[in-house]
Chain A
Amino acid sequence: MSTASPATQSQNGSFTAEVFAAHLATQAAAPAWWLERKRAAYAQFAALPMPARTNEGWRFSNIGTLSLDGVAVATPSNLKSQISDFKFKAVAELTFANNTLSSRTALPADLAAKGVIVTTLAEAAVKHADLLKAHFMAQPQKLGSEKFAALHIAFVGDGAFIYVPKGVTVTDPIVVTHLASGAGTAVFPHTLVVAEENSRATVVDYFVSADASAHFACGANDLYAGHGAQLTYVAAQNWSPTTLSFQFNSTVVRRDARVQSLNLHLGARQARHESLSQLQAPGAFSEMLALTVAMGAQEFDQRTLQIHQAPNTKSDLLYKNALRDTARTIFSGLIVVDPDAQKTDAYQSNRNLMLSDDAEANSLPGLEIQANDVRCTHGATSSRIDPEQEFYLQSRGIAKAAADELLTFGFFEEVLNRLENEPLHDALRELIKTKF
């Protein structure tokens, strides 16, 4: 890579060829195909330009603050779980600190005997290579972050691999905590979930900083729901308020399967979240939910794509943002209905609660329909606290600030109520409260 021009080096920031070579050296135990995948990804990353203001996929985003400079790939940490402000009953837990497994709890023997796997990507690369090849970052990146997705593959250290075999139900959530610690630390969290035919599981990702320093997070999760599977996925992003965060979600839903995903966005100074749902066979249903509390000068940039590739598929997106101070949010969502995806039922809604006159919510809902017998609805709204509701609460003795907080939680409840798991619902609510 010595031929790289200065321009190329600057667009790659701290992630130089030398840094990549050093990272590869730490992966010596990995199989050759995995290393080859990483090399190809690094080449792609290095070749791609940084996003430009003129890119449609970055419209309204603050491009100037997406710096890749001044960060370093995390060195392993032995920090243990920091889940104290986000607690609920879990069936198994994995904690990664600075890209390295730092603690785990064993899966109950009965689930292990049924073939449920909760392990690391490193182990899966050796033992379950076919599954990893089939599902790890296997879907197209269509939402603007091809460069950062390639960066993720190039530098991903370790992550969670979760496999639920045919017909198996895992009742309580499997929890993966991704910790970042140390100033300028770059982390690349990954969680991969394969839910086979008619299985059921709930997986929770928790992203959290161990200290208040600025981190660079570039994470991804791959979700696959096989025929009739029911997968619930919750991601709670609670990085330090100075962190730059990228997170890419890919969801593949097969025949009669259902995936419910809920992304809670609390942390980071700037957080880009891209979510792709592919409804690949009849009866597939993807429910895409998100809640954001944006405050200070935070920017939350959410890009979504619902692709209906087969008839009789359903998607239902509800993204709710509460904005305070001078915070900004961007929601850009597209529903695509392929020509033979008749009887598609697609819904997309972005609702913004403006708690400050200086906050800014941008919404770009979109439809691209190539079939003629479909039902697609989309919409975006921005509203303030209703003064009559506020007066009503105040007239019961609740101070204005507490009243507004109650009303904000009321606004969120429509999303939280979609979760069937009550303890998880309550834990998310408590986690949100830590931001007020």
Chain B
Amino acid sequence: MASLEIQNLQISIGDKPIVKGLSLTIRSGEVHAIMGPNGTGKSTLAKAIAGHPDYTITGGDVLLDGKSVLEMETDERARAGLFLAFQYPSEIPGVTIANFLRAALQARLAEGEEIDASAYYKRLYAKMDLLKIDRKFTSRAVNDGFSGGEKKRCEILQMAMLEPKFALMDETDSGLDIDALRIVAEGVNAQRGSAISPGILLITHYQRLLDYIIPDHVHVMWDGRIVKSGDKSLALELEAKGYDWVKQEFAAASA
């Protein structure tokens, strides 16, 4: 069983501390939801763990199977088993989905090893069918001109192809209508139920995604820290009481 341990992590953008000591351990197969108001550091947490150069880790550690990832380049972290599903995936003109995923898989092979093209396409098409992505998309440029829903499905497709140990899903539900949300959730759940069974950190502002991807743990983030943890009922409580409740309850504590 794999583990992702976030230990007292502190993250800054420039001189400004955003994440101020956050600890969380995720194991294979677990889904942890992090909820919280905008601007509380949720996306920063995900991007910094993936290695985004705009963020500085000023303290703490992130261990993947006991080994720190902080000295690794972004691509090394990805090959070690981390996956970031972007809130706003980049558009990559001129690079087709097929070539892009092939390059990503090729990067995981030893020098001199080549991808079996027919097996690759067979697997790619199967995952696309599951996510109701038209097979013609393989020859389209990555996210180029895609709708919001298409981009998010493309993120889940990449996750399905790359089979990470841990996925950090940053507001995957934002901009999705209910049908697209259901398709995306089915895609994630299919991976949860598979032998790969990644651990998932689900960052969301809204509870509705958690109706489709049932979390094992729910954490409330406020001002750069986890201030409350519970089971899925905590998400419902948040939905009922709203984030003002969080602010009132925890503002004093974090001040």
Contacts and interface: CB of A to CB of B under 8 A. Distances in A.
Interface of A: 386-389, 391-400, 402-403, 406-407, 409-414, 417
A392 to B, nearest CB: 4
A402 B103 contact: yes
A218 B108 CA distance: 46
B73 interface: yes
B90 A399 contact: no
7 contacts: A394-B78, A395-B84, A406-B95, A410-B141, A413-B94, A413-B95, A417-B94
Contacts of B93: 410-411, 413-414
Contacts, number: 84
A391 B90 CA distance: 9
Contact of A392 (B53, B90, B103): B90
B149 interface: no
Contact of A398 (B84, B107, B141): B107
B94 A410 contact: yes
B51 interface: yes
Nearest to B79: A397
Given A399-B107, A406-B99, A394 B74 contact: yes
Contacts of B84: 395
Contact of A410 (B53, B92, B108): B92
A389 B92 CA distance: 7
Nearest to B85: A395
A247 B28 CA distance: 61
Nearest to B104: A396
Nearest to B103: A398
A403 B103 CA distance: 9
B50 interface: yes
B94 A409 contact: yes
A389 B88 CA distance: 11
B162 interface: yes
Interface residues of B, number: 29
Interface string B41-70: 000000000111100000000000000000
B204 interface: no
Contacts of A411: 93-94
B9 to A, nearest CB: 18
B197 interface: no
Most-contacted residue by chain B among A387, A398, A406, A414 (CB, 10 A): A398
Contact of A397 (B95, B141, B162): B162
Which 5 pairs between the two chains have the least Cβ-Cβ distance? Answer: A410-B94, A413-B94, A397-B78, A394-B74, A392-B90
A213 to B, nearest CB: 32
Most-contacted residue by chain A among B101, B103, B108 (CB, 10 A): B103
B50 A395 contact: yes
Nearest to A410: B94
Contacts of B162: 396-397
A384 to B, nearest CB: 14
B211 interface: no
Contacts of B52: 391
B37 interface: no
B218 to A, nearest CB: 26
Given A386-B90, A397-B78, A406-B99, 8 more contacts: A387-B53, A389-B91, A391-B53, A395-B84, A397-B104, A410-B95, A410-B141, A417-B94
Nearest to B78: A397
B100 interface: yes
B90 A389 contact: yes
Contact of B90 (A388, A397, A402): A388
Given A411-B94, A413-B93, A392 B73 contact: no
Contacts of B107: 396-399, 402
B17 interface: no
A386 B95 CA distance: 14
B100 A394 contact: no
B75 interface: yes
Contacts of B90: 386, 388-389, 391-392
A417 B139 CA distance: 12
Contacts of B148: none
A397 B108 contact: yes
B158 interface: yes
Contact of A395 (B51, B95, B103): B51
A392 B51 contact: no
B89 A403 contact: no
A392 B94 contact: no
B89 A392 contact: yes
B206 interface: no
B51 to A, nearest CB: 7
B137 interface: no
Contacts of A391: 51-53, 74, 90
A180 B131 CA distance: 54
Nearest to B101: A396
Contacts of A409: 94-95
